[in-house]
Amino acid sequence: MKDITVIGAGVVGCAIARELSRYDLNILVIDKNEDVAEGISKANSGIIHGGYNEKKGTLKAKLNLEGNEMMDDLSKKLQFPFKRNGALVLAFNEEELEKVKELKANGDEIGVKGLEILNKDEVLELEKNINKNVVGALYVKSSGIVSPYEMTLALGENAVENGVEFKLGNSVVDIKKELNSYKIELDNKEVVESKLVINAAGLGADDLTYLVSNEKYEIDPVKGEYCLFDKVAGTLCEKTLFQVPSKLSKGVLVTPTVDGNLLIGPNAKHSDTIETSREGIDEILEKSQKTIKDIPVSRVLNTFSGLRPKVCGGDFIIEESRDCKNFINVIGIDSPGLTAAPAIAKYVVDIVSKNIQLKEKENFKETRTKMVRMSELNIEEKNKLIAQNPSYGKMICKCEFVTEGEIIDAIRRPLGATTLDGIKRRTRAMMGGCQGSGCMIPISMILSKELGIDISKVNKNCKSSTVIGYKEV
């Protein structure tokens, strides 16, 4: 029997698992996807929000602020990329400027540090490419950027290093409440028994509660579409550039990524599908030109979309079920969920501690060593590594300079990649100009060899996404 089962291996589920791994517990994480960060967490703008827009007294306000303050230390210990680049909330008329001043007052009241109102000249001195119609801005010095999937992987890997088990590629089809435990049935007929369950299943979290509880939650998915530009366009701005937010979203942003690309988006549409649309992409391209007139559309590498799990009331729902003891719901974690994730984890552990006696491990491993990135090494370091392992001298992805050694490492690490997208998120292979057309087959061959499967069984992301589609004879 498991002490605790976490359902959901996104950034929140992995953060919870990692925080719980500090204690002597038998912990399992279940996710229907073949990899961590395969749901909401991968299609994310990667912004570490300052928190100026949240309502005082809400969990969002509290946990956004706490999570933001934890990010520097956490990124150093777990070695995932994070940059506190700051953000500007731009006003293009006097009405918007008044709104920006209201945001500052709200942020000051909540306790957000480093907020400052800038005039037009001060804005343009910081970011010369901003539309010259700007009249002022809120400067949010505590805002930052992160790779959402690398952060999730770092949390998950460290959890595994501390004894957490992950069961990926298995959907939960039923949960039965027993006298002192829960029986969780998976789609492969396996049944997991657990003393306590944490429901962090993202868009499916409301459905899971229906299986055991009379409490009803309803998630209303809101789709956001994005355009990702190449690294040439990535020099267009240094700070994250926001427009004045609406009730539905924080608006279309223009931001650099931690990897040096440029990202614009999202829009906000009530939808339960993640397909991008011509209409939606045109919308974000048009709206982004309010921030920067000359958006280099010819430098677009890819478009994608994600769903935000909004709930009625707008705040995070993090609580033990009222009619099911030891069943903890973590529901409605939309923006700023990424920022708040490490603080959400601590909040959940506090709830767990009221039901289960927690004993800290003496050997908890607080740090994690990131993957080798050949593109980040100097020539002496590269030559030394190649001398030790010649596979690091064989280039596979020429766009992003990813070697065979890095791909093998991505497969063999804790929570190792089993799909093309898993390799992509760990190494950046297939993220460059050719978008995988030059390296997809060689990577599939490496996956085939390392996993001991025929190349026809290699998938892009899920079991129905075969890459090659034929069997070698």
pLDDT in tens, 48-60: 999 999 999 999 9
CA distance 331 to 78: 26
Predicted confidence (pLDDT) at residue 219 exceeds the cutoff of 90? yes
Is residue 145 within 8 A of residue 47, CB to CB? The reply is yes
Predicted confidence (pLDDT) at residue 428 exceeds the cutoff of 60? yes
Predicted confidence (pLDDT) at residue 473 exceeds the cutoff of 60? no
pLDDT score for 169: 96
pLDDT score for 248: 58
Is residue 184 within 8 A of residue 28, CB to CB? The reply is no
Average pLDDT for 237-247: 90
Q: How many CB atoms lie within 10 A of CB 116?
A: 11
Question: What CATH number labels 374-457?
Answer: 1.10.10.1100
Average pLDDT for 33-61: 95
C-alpha Rg value of the chain to the nearest Å: 22
What pLDDT, in 10s, does the model give residues 341-394?
999 999 999 999 999 999 999 999 999 999 999 999 999 999 999 999 999 999
Predicted confidence (pLDDT) at residue 231 exceeds the cutoff of 90? yes
268-271 contacts: CB < 8 A, separation 24 or more?
A: 268/222, 268/223, 268/224, 268/308, 269/222, 269/223, 269/224, 269/225, 270/220, 270/221, 270/222, 270/223, 271/221, 271/222, 271/223, 271/307
Residue 140 CB contacts under 8 Å (≥ 6 apart), including other chains: 50, 52, 86, 87, 88, 89, 107, 112, 114, 115
pLDDT score for 470: 61
Is residue 28 within 8 A of residue 6, CB to CB? The reply is yes
Q: Which helix (H) or strand (E) holds 30?
A: strand 27-31
Average pLDDT for 304-310: 93
Range list for CATH 1.10.10.1100 in the chain: 374-457
State the fold for domain 2-41+149-218+313-354: FAD/NAD(P)-binding domain (3.50.50)
User: For 462, what's the count of Cα atoms within 13 Å in the CB-facing half-sphere?
Assistant: 9
pLDDT score for 250: 65
Q: Which of 19-23, 32-36, 92-96, 273-277 shows the lowest mean pLDDT across its residues?
A: 273-277
What pLDDT, in 10s, does the model give residues 184-205?
999 999 999 999 999 999 999 9
Q: What is the pTM of this model?
A: 0.96
Average pLDDT for 294-309: 94
Predicted confidence (pLDDT) at residue 472 exceeds the cutoff of 60? no
CA distance 10 to 331: 13
Range list for CATH 3.30.9.10 in the chain: 82-145+221-307
Residue closest to 16 by CA, chosen among 370, 342, 473, 432: 342
Range list for CATH 3.50.50.60 in the chain: 2-41+149-218+313-354
- Beta strand extents in 149-268 (DSSP E only): 165-168, 172-177, 182-186, 191-199, 219-229, 240-243, 253-256, 262-265
Q: Could you confirm whether 270 is annotated as catalytic?
A: no
CA distance 9 to 29: 7
Active-site entry in 32, 42, 49, 299: 49
State the fold for domain 82-145+221-307: D-Amino Acid Oxidase; Chain A, domain 2 (3.30.9)
Q: How many CB atoms lie within 10 A of CB 317?
A: 19
Alpha-carbon dihedral 190, 272, 266, 216, rounded to 10 degrees: -70
Helix 404-412 × helix 440-451 angle, to 10°: 40
